Structure 1
Amino acid sequence: MPTGPDASLRPADHSVPLSDLTVGALLRSTAATHGEAIALAGVPDDGGPRRLWTYNELLAEAESVAAGILERVPLGSRVAIWAHNIPEWPVFEYAAALAGVTLVTLNPTLRAVELEHALRASDAAMLVYADHSRAYDMAEVAGKVGAGLPQLRHVVSVADWESLKGACPLPSDEEITAAGIPAQLQFTSGTTGAPKAVLLSHRAVVNVSRLTFEGLGVEEGATVVSPLPMFHTAGCVISCLGPLWSGGTFTLVERFSPKRLLDVLRESPGAVLTSVPTVLTALNDVAKGDTAPPVLSAVLTGAAPVRAQLIAETERLFSTTVFNLYGQTELASVLTLTRPDDSAELKTSTVGRPLPHAEVKIVDPRSGEVQPLGVQGEICARSYQQMIAYYGDAEATAAKVDADGWLHTGDLGSMDATGTLRIDGRLNEIIIRGGENISPASVEEVLCEVPGVRDAVVLGIPDDRWGEIVAAVLQPAAAASPDPAAVLALCTERLSPHKIPALWFLADEFPLTASGKIQKFRVREIIAADGFHRLDSGAPASHHVHA
C-alpha cells in the first residue's frame, strides 16, 4: 500500500473554521445585516410577475410558519413538503429549521405508492403539499395517502398557507443543536435502484453551501438563478442556502423551460446559474439562436458527467466560467469542485479538489487499500458533511460507512498530487468484457465528440462468450443525427478494440431522475424490451446477446 506523497490520500484542510449555525440561525444572521435586500424571488410558470421577499420579510414569514408547525407537532418531528418549485418551498424549509423539526423533501412526481412509501420510511408527522403540479392532481393523491397513514397527523395544502401560521414561542438555536435534530431527510436520486432516506445535519448543509460559494469566489450580493428541483440537495442546499452567506438573491424558477430560463437570466445581469448537464444542453440549444445571450458571472454544474465540449460551449455562449462540482446526497451535495484559478484543462476534465475539512482517498474496491496517485479506485470521503445515517436502515448505513468512518461513494476515480479528482463512473457500472475492465464514462466521452450526438450512454450487456459486451445508446442532436460511419471511425481511432461498442441504439430521450441524472438501470430495461431503435444491423453472430 503506498504511503506519503505517492498515495491517493488527501488530508483535510482545517485552515477555514466551520460554522455552528443552524439553517434558521443563518437566516436570522443574514436578515440582521441585509434586512432590506431581496432574499427570494419566485419566477412563476405562467409568465406573471416575480414574487419578492426581502430578508426581513422572509424571516418574519418563516418564523410565523415555524410557530404554526410547532402548534401541530413536537420538537424533533419530521415534516414533509411535496411541491414543485414554488417560493413557499424555501419559506417552509426555513420554517422547519426555525421550528426545530426535520424537513423531509419529496419529489413532486411521486405516485401514490411512492408517496406512501416515502412518508412511511421517514415517519413524517406532517405533510404540506401543492394541489397540482402541471396536470398531476396532487391534492387527490395526498388526501388518499394521508388517510391511510396514522402517524401522519396533519396534511395541509399550500393553498391554505395562512392556516399554517401560528404564534407560539420558537426554540433557540442552542436548543436545536443540543437536541441533535437533523436539518433534512433527503431521498437519494434512485439512479441505481430504490431511493434511500439520508439524514443530514445542520452543520453539513450550512457549511457545504458556504464553503462551495467561498471556493468559487461568489461575490457579495450575487443573484443565484436555479431551475433545479428544490427537493434535491443541489436545489435546497447549494442554490438556496448559498446566497445567504453573501446576502444575495435566490431566484427560484418554477418550471424549467430553456426559453424561459434564458429570459430570466437576461433579467438578472451577471447572475450565477446552478444547473445540471441536461439543463445546460437544452439552454445552449436555445442560446445559439440568440443574437446576444446574457453574460453570467458563473455557472455551477454537476450531478452527472459534464462533457468538455459542453463546458467550452457554455463559456463561449455566456462569456462565463463553468465550475464542475462533484458529490452526492450522502455528502450534503458537494465534495469537490473546480476553482477560479484552475487551468482550462482541469476545469474541463476534472471535478476539482475537495472542500475544506474533507478527507478523500482512492481505494482498491476489493482490498480497500489506498491506491497510488493516478490509479483508479473507489472514491471515499470522511468529513463533518457526511450523512448521519440512512434513516431506519442500520444495515445500509453500515454498508455505506465503514468502521473507520469513511463513506464509500460507489464512484470510481483517480487523484493527482494536488488532490484533484477525475471521475470514471460508478463502481457498479464497470463493464467486464473478457476479464478487461471498461469504464463507460471513457467511452461516452469519445462518443459525445461525434457530430450529431447530443449525449450517450454506455453499459454492459450479458454475453455468453465475453461475459459482457459494450452497448451504446446515442441521443441525436436536435438538428442532426450521427453518421454510423463517423461514429465507428472515431471509436477506431480513439478506443482500444475491446472498448468499441458491439451494439448500437438511438434514443430520442433518456430516462432521467428529477435532478437530471440518467437512470442507467432503466436504460438497460428499455434495451431488454427492445424499446430503442437499433442503429447497427445486429451484433456479430458469435456474441449470442441476451439483453
Structure 2
Amino acid sequence: MAASAPSYASGTSTTPLLGETIGQNLERTVAAHAGRPALVERATGRRWTYAELNRDVDALARGLLAAGVAQGDRVGIWSPNCAEWVLLQYATAKVGAILVNVNPAYRVHELEYALNQSGVRLLVSATSFKTSDYRGMVDQVRPDCPALERVVFVGADSWDELVAGGAETPAEALRERMAQLSPDDPINIQYTSGTTGFPKGATLSHHNILNNGFFVAELQRWTHEDRVCLPVPFYHCFGMVMGNLGATSHGACVVIPAPVFEPAETLRAVHDERCTVLYGVPTMFIAELNHPDFDSFDLSSLRTGVMAGSPCPQEVMKQVIERMGMREVTICYGMTETSPVSVQTRVDDAFDRRVATVGRAHPHVEIKVVDPATGLTVPRGTPGELCTRGYSVMLGYWEQPDKTAEAIDSARWMHTGDLAVMDDDGYVTITGRIKDMVIRGGENIYPREIEEFLYSHPDVLDAQVVGVPDPKYGEELMAWVRMRPGAEPLTAESLREFCRGRLAHYKVPRYVHVVDEFPMTVTGKIRKVEMRERAVQILGLREEGGNGAS
C-alpha cells in the first residue's frame, strides 16, 4: 500500500500579492470609488464616502507630521471601536508610524507595560467608556512612561488640536513621507494575550496585513457593493485587518454597529444598513441567534462573513447559514503572529467541509503539520502541530529576539502551538491547543471532539471541556456548560446517560459545571487556563498529575 502523502500544502493563486503600502492601496481605491460609502459609525450617525475618508485621513496624517511623528515612531491607540480608530489606522500608515494597538480592557499595570515596552511617543485614547476611566488611568501611568510625550483624547479638544495642527503642513510633505515608505516597513504592533507572563508585541508590516485583509475578503468574493458589519474589536487583527483592510482594498463599506459588541445593535445595524457581510467569534453569533428579538430583524441582505477567533461549533455554523441566511459564511483560522489568517474555508466548499474544518491553505501561504517532538512532517490524517510560512508571518516580537526565535524556526516556519489534522484534500481540522490536550490514563483526549458532541445535546447552548487533576488517571475531564433558557441543569449522571453507547467511556466528562458564561478574553476567546484554575478550587482538588504535554 502506498504511503500517505505528507501533511503539507501551499495556497496557489492566480491573484498576485499586493506590492504597495496601505496608504497607496487606500488612494488607489479612492481613485476608483470616490463617491461610494466607506465608513458608517452607528453610535453617532456619522458617514464618510471614500473621498471624505481619505480627506480626513490626510488631515490627521498632516497633524501627525506637524506633531513631529517620524517614520518608525510608535503611536498608541487605546479605545473601543470608533471612527477615529479607523482614521488613525490609515493616517499612521501614511506617515510610516507604527500603530500600537492597546487592548481596551487593559488596566493600569498592563497599559504601562505596553506603552513602555513599545516606546509609544504619542497616545490616542478614549476618555471613558462604561466603567473604564481611560483619562484617569492615563494620568496614573504617565509619570512612569518616559517615552510618552503627548496624549490625545478622542472627542476632546486635544483631538481637534492634533488635526488642526496639520493645517499649515503642505500636502507635499505628506507625499514626500509616503514616497519614503516600503511595504516591508513595520506598521503595527499587536500584543498577544499570553497565558503566562507579559504579552508579546507581534510586529507586522504593510505587506503582512494589507495582503492578509485583501485575501480574506477575496475568498468571500467581496466587491465595492459589499457592506461589512464589524462588531469585532479593531484593536485585534479580526477588526482592523480582516475587516478594515479587507474593505478598503475592495472599495467596500465598513459599518461600526457599536463601540463594543452588543447583539441587538449588531442585528439592528445589519437590518438598517442592509449589510451583506457579518463578522464575529462563535460567542457573538450564539448571542445574536439567541436574542429574544432575533426574529424581528430583517437579515435577508446577509450573504457571507467570517466566524473565527476560537473553535467554531458545527451546530452554530448550521444555524448561521440557515437562520441568518449567511449561505457563503467562511471559517478562518489564524493567529496575530500570522497577520492573522493562514487557513480559510471557501464559499463554495461542500457543507460538511465548511462546518467541520477550518478550510485550506490561504493564497500564497504554506502550511504543514509536524510531530511536536521531532519537528518532522506527519502523514495526512495524523495529528500534530500546525506550522505556517509565507508573506503573512510577522517580522518578529518587538525587541524580543529570544521569544521570536522560540516561535519562528530557522526556515521561517511559524509554530502555532495548535494541534491539527490535514486530510487527503488539504483541509485542516483544529483539534485543540497542544497545552489543552488531556492525557487520561495514557489516552490522548482532544477536548474539541467532546465539545462538538455536547453541542448535540438538546438542552446545551454552549460547552467547553478542560482537564482537571486526578490521582488515579493523572487527569479527568470536566465539562463547563451553558444551558438553553428553561432547560434543567445538566448533571454528571444525566450527561453519562446521554453519552452511553455514543462516546468512549474515557471521553465521558467525570464532572459537570453549569455556568451563565465562560471566562473570556475581550476578543471572545475562552480562557481555559482560568477555567482549569477555577475547576481545581470548585472541586477541591490538588494540582497533581499534569497533562504531560509541552
TM-score category of the 2 structures, normalised to the smaller one:
over 0.9
Within-5 A mapping of 1:382-393: 382-393=389-400
Residues 273, 299 of structure 1: 8 Å contact kept: yes
Match of 2:524 in 1: 516
Match of 1:363 in 2: 370
What's the TM-score, normalizing by structure 2? 0.92
Residues 12, 359 of structure 1: 8 Å contact kept: yes
Alignment-mate amino acid for residue 94 of structure 1: Y
Cα distance per residue 1:478-529 (max 9 Å; x no partner): 3424443542233233321111112221121111111110011111122233
Alignment-mate amino acid for residue 276 of structure 2: A
Structure 2 counterpart of 1:237, from 212, 236, 241 = 241
More divergent stretch after superposition (480-489 vs 83-92): 480-489
Residues 425, 441 of structure 1: 8 Å contact kept: yes
Residues 92, 99 of structure 2: 8 Å contact kept: yes
With over 3 angstroms needed to count, the CA separation of the structure-2 counterparts of 1:449 and 1:195, relative to structure 1, is farther
Match of 1:38 in 2: 37
The answer to whether residue 265 in structure 2 is matched with residue 260 in structure 1 is yes
Instruction: Give the superposition deviation at 1:122.
Output: 1.2
Alignment-mate amino acid for residue 517 of structure 2: E
Distance, in Å, in 1 between the alignment partners of 2:225 and 2:210 is 18
With over 3 angstroms needed to count, the CA separation of the structure-2 counterparts of 1:187 and 1:544, relative to structure 1, is closer
More divergent stretch after superposition (9-18 vs 480-489): 480-489
Alignment-mate amino acid for residue 6 of structure 2: A
Match of 1:467 in 2: 474
Structure 2 counterpart of 1:69, from 64, 75, 81 = 64
Match of 2:136 in 1: 140
Distance, in Å, in 1 between the alignment partners of 2:194 and 2:295 is 36
Instruction: Give the superposition deviation at 1:21.
Output: 1.6
Alignment-mate amino acid for residue 22 of structure 2: V
Distance, in Å, in 2 between the alignment partners of 1:154 and 1:291 is 47
Distance, in Å, in 2 between the alignment partners of 1:261 and 1:478 is 22
Structure 1 counterpart of 2:342, from 335, 339, 347 = 335
Match of 2:113 in 1: 117
Unaligned runs of 5+ in 1: none
Residues 82, 128 of structure 1: 8 Å contact kept: yes
Distance, in Å, in 1 between the alignment partners of 2:488 and 2:190 is 38
Distance, in Å, in 1 between the alignment partners of 2:455 and 2:485 is 14
More divergent stretch after superposition (65-74 vs 87-96): 65-74
Cα distance per residue 1:132-153 (max 9 Å; x no partner): 0112111111122123211111
Residues 191, 518 of structure 1: 8 Å contact kept: no
With over 3 angstroms needed to count, the CA separation of the structure-2 counterparts of 1:311 and 1:190, relative to structure 1, is same
Residues 89, 99 of structure 2: 8 Å contact kept: yes
Instruction: Give the superposition deviation at 1:10.
Output: 0.6
Instruction: Give the superposition deviation at 1:545.
Output: 9.3
With over 3 angstroms needed to count, the CA separation of the structure-2 counterparts of 1:31 and 1:529, relative to structure 1, is same
Distance, in Å, in 2 between the alignment partners of 1:59 and 1:372 is 50
Cα distance per residue 1:174-217 (max 9 Å; x no partner): 41107x53121011134566422100111111111111111121
Structure 2 counterpart of 1:303, from 282, 297, 309 = 309
Alignment-mate amino acid for residue 118 of structure 2: S
Residues 76, 99 of structure 2: 8 Å contact kept: yes
Residues 192, 519 of structure 1: 8 Å contact kept: no
Distance, in Å, in 2 between the alignment partners of 1:26 and 1:404 is 30
With over 3 angstroms needed to count, the CA separation of the structure-2 counterparts of 1:483 and 1:525, relative to structure 1, is closer
Instruction: Give the superposition deviation at 1:546.
Output: 10
Structure 2 counterpart of 1:251, from 246, 255, 277 = 255
* SS of residue paired to 1:231: coil
The answer to whether residue 285 in structure 2 is matched with residue 280 in structure 1 is yes
Instruction: Give the superposition deviation at 1:423.
Output: 0.7
Alignment-mate amino acid for residue 318 of structure 2: A
With over 3 angstroms needed to count, the CA separation of the structure-2 counterparts of 1:483 and 1:506, relative to structure 1, is closer
Structure 1 counterpart of 2:51, from 47, 56, 77 = 56
Number of residue equivalences: 531
Match of 2:160 in 1: 162
Match of 1:219 in 2: 223
The answer to whether residue 510 in structure 2 is matched with residue 502 in structure 1 is yes
Residues 446, 494 of structure 1: 8 Å contact kept: no
More divergent stretch after superposition (496-505 vs 380-389): 496-505
Instruction: Give the superposition deviation at 1:79.
Output: 0.5
Instruction: Give the superposition deviation at 1:292.
Output: 5.6
Residues 293, 317 of structure 1: 8 Å contact kept: no
Alignment-mate amino acid for residue 29 of structure 1: R
Instruction: Give the superposition deviation at 1:288.
Output: 6.8
Instruction: Give the superposition deviation at 1:66.
Output: 1.2
The answer to whether residue 181 in structure 2 is matched with residue 176 in structure 1 is yes
Residues 474, 506 of structure 1: 8 Å contact kept: yes
* SS of residue paired to 2:123: strand
* SS of residue paired to 2:332: strand
The answer to whether residue 456 in structure 2 is matched with residue 449 in structure 1 is yes
Distance, in Å, in 1 between the alignment partners of 2:288 and 2:13 is 38
* SS of residue paired to 2:295: coil
Structure 2 counterpart of 1:396, from 403, 411, 420 = 403
Structure 2 counterpart of 1:312, from 318, 330, 333 = 318
With over 3 angstroms needed to count, the CA separation of the structure-2 counterparts of 1:291 and 1:112, relative to structure 1, is closer
Match of 2:23 in 1: 24
Match of 1:94 in 2: 90
More divergent stretch after superposition (379-388 vs 292-301): 292-301
Within-5 A mapping of 1:363-442: 363-442=370-449
* SS of residue paired to 2:117: helix
Match of 1:206 in 2: 210
More divergent stretch after superposition (454-463 vs 82-91): 454-463
Alignment-mate amino acid for residue 498 of structure 1: Y
Match of 1:151 in 2: 147
* SS of residue paired to 1:325: strand
What's the TM-score, normalizing by structure 1? 0.93
More divergent stretch after superposition (219-228 vs 187-196): 187-196
More divergent stretch after superposition (69-78 vs 305-314): 69-78
Residues 82, 106 of structure 1: 8 Å contact kept: yes
With over 3 angstroms needed to count, the CA separation of the structure-2 counterparts of 1:27 and 1:287, relative to structure 1, is farther
Residues 453, 482 of structure 1: 8 Å contact kept: no
* SS of residue paired to 2:425: coil
Unaligned runs of 5+ in 2: none
With over 3 angstroms needed to count, the CA separation of the structure-2 counterparts of 1:263 and 1:192, relative to structure 1, is farther
Instruction: Give the superposition deviation at 1:446.
Output: 0.9
- Once superposed, what is the RMSD of the aligned Cα atoms? 2.1
* SS of residue paired to 1:6: coil
Identical amino acids, percent of aligned pairs? 34
Distance, in Å, in 2 between the alignment partners of 1:288 and 1:527 is 34
Cα distance per residue 1:364-410 (max 9 Å; x no partner): 11111111111111000001101110111111111101111110000
Instruction: Give the superposition deviation at 1:22.
Output: 1.3
